[in-house]
Amino acid sequence: MPMSSYNIPIGPVHVVLEEPIYFKLQVEGETVVGLDINAGHVHRGIEFLTMQRNFYQNLTLTERVCSLCSNNHPFTYCMALEKLAGIEIPVRAEYLRTIADEIKRIASHLFNIGIIPHIIGFDSLFMHAMEVRESMQDLKESVFGNRMNLSVNTIGGVRYNITDEQSKYIVKTLENLKKPLAEITKICRTDASIRRRTEGIGVLPKDKAIAYGVVGPVARASGLPYDVRVVNPYAAYDKLTVYPAVEQNGDVFSRLLVRLQEAAESIRIIEQCLHDMPEGPTDLGYMPDIPAGEAIAKSEAPRGELIYYARTNGTPIPERIKWRVPTYPNWAALNVMMPGYKIADISVIIGSIDPCISCTER
């Protein structure tokens, strides 16, 4: 007798989704057989808005595209415009950009590291991860003055500087973060109740990962050592050593491990930056004009490769700004990850790609 087939709606409003998106799942019995993604609930027309404002107003606007990777948007936007105008930014500014970026990465990864246990019902670890993450929020607040949007980047440099005192404070905070992070990593690696819900779930094989062009932790969990910081260094990454975390199994567990390792790696990168950072100016000292032209820049956001395209015509207002965010290829790969798994696994698979809907629909 054929099993009954029916549809389950996940979203647009669902406990597991932090942002509105609508997944229509075809289910047979308890097993998922198909997936339909219906996006567009948080489209705000930000790309259009960037073409109404001048280059400097857009710094503020792009920072507000999304929350967890908010630093990467103005960061990459600035890099695209600097490339277009041929601006060389001071070396210290490169380091400062890198530091801000890595702090945001730790905060973003720890958020997802907390969310995954929450989805599988392990709320104690969720609370613990969030408590650990709070030290990063404090760090952001005391160094940058904000807990979410850092307002670090400007065209030609950065808008903050790190004093010796702040440098010591950052080193101390990171030192205090190491132990709880190692503890969480150990729990995630060894706890049987986490492993039985994440191992072998939502597998994305390497060949499919290549075919779908997935990026970020999702790609690295499937055995692809693709990290923009390594393959195409920007800011200060050419002067630093970055070891991309790569796992081979491509399941939810691997993606969790990749994020844990990357958070630890980010701590090391920031320490390296603070150690190597030269003295000097942090910006150009003036607001440069942007000539006509077009350029493209990319960076490694916490969720993967973020690409910005900019075309200008010599006026203070860009002719076209276009970006491709990491979630866009990653959520398409859900078509591979979902079928064959149980209804109970749907949420954790969605959570494991760490979807950022606001970025993707902007």
**Contact residues for another protein, defined by CB under 8 A:** 6-9, 14-16, 30, 117-124, 127-128, 131, 191, 193-194, 196-197, 342-347
| Minimum distance from residue 343 beta carbon to another protein (Å) | 6
| Minimum distance from residue 303 beta carbon to another protein (Å) | 20
Which amino acid is located at 218 in the chain? V
| Minimum distance from residue 6 beta carbon to another protein (Å) | 7
Give the residue from 204, 244, 224 showing the smallest Cα distance to 349.
204
Which amino acid is located at 56 in the chain? Y
Give the residue from 30, 338, 352 showing the smallest Cα distance to 208.
338
User: What DSSP character marks residue 237?
Assistant: G
| Minimum distance from residue 197 beta carbon to another protein (Å) | 6
User: How far is CA 333 from each of CA 99, 206, 214, 326, 353, rounded to the nearest angstrom?
Assistant: 31, 12, 7, 12, 9
Nearer to another protein, 14 or 268 (CB): 14
| Minimum distance from residue 336 beta carbon to another protein (Å) | 21
Which H or E element spans position 198? helix 192-198
| Minimum distance from residue 347 beta carbon to another protein (Å) | 5
| Cβ within 8 Å of residue 356, ≥6 positions away | 19, 66, 68, 69, 303, 325, 326, 327
Q: How many CA atoms lie within 13 A of 59 on its CB side?
A: 17
Nearer to another protein, 190 or 241 (CB): 190
Q: Cα–Cα distance between 60 and 46 in angstroms, integer?
A: 12
Nearer to another protein, 326 or 351 (CB): 351
Exposure class string for 214-229: b at 16+ Cβ within 10 A, else e: bbbbbbbbbbbebbbb
Nearer to another protein, 26 or 232 (CB): 26
Nearer to another protein, 120 or 214 (CB): 120
Nearer to another protein, 47 or 191 (CB): 191
| Minimum distance from residue 248 beta carbon to another protein (Å) | 23
User: What DSSP character marks residue 238?
Assistant: G
Nearer to another protein, 138 or 289 (CB): 138
